[in-house]
Amino acid sequence: MTSEELKNRTKHYSLSIINLVEKLPITAASKIVAYQIAKSGTSVGANYRAVCRARSDKEFIAKMEIVLEEADETLFWLEIIKEKNWIEKATVDSVWKEGNELTAIFVSSLKTVKSKI
């Protein structure tokens, strides 16, 4: 997968997170979770773009670790949403699956670059 394809994929992931947030019920607890997942979920794509501008392997690793951290946090919030039954299971599972696949790609990229240095 090229960096351009991954940029598009992470952007679409951000949009799917926004769409999911817009379906959440309006309660005190869900507002907090909505804010958190909106931040972490959209941060995946935004920070991946920064990875693409890395000027060295060390900078790539540092930036990619931020992307990985945000992706993992987003998976956590998706698990909370699912366990609270705030949104239908199929919708959450679809977004979670994409987040999990992206996380695997990021981990693989990090391992590859770390093995070079």
Backbone CA torsion sign across 100, 24, 37, 49: positive
Contact partners, residue 57, CB within 8 Å, separation at least 6: 113, 116, 117
Q: How far apart are CA 29 and CA 16, in angstroms?
A: 21
* Tens digits of pLDDT across the chain (117 residues): 899 999 999 999 999 999 999 999 999 999 999 999 999 999 999 999 999 999 999 999 999 999 999 999 999 999 999 999 999 999 999 999 999 999 999 999 999 999 988
Token pair in block for residue 59: 């900078």
Amino acid at position 21, single letter: V
Domains of the chain: 3-116 (1.20.1440.60)
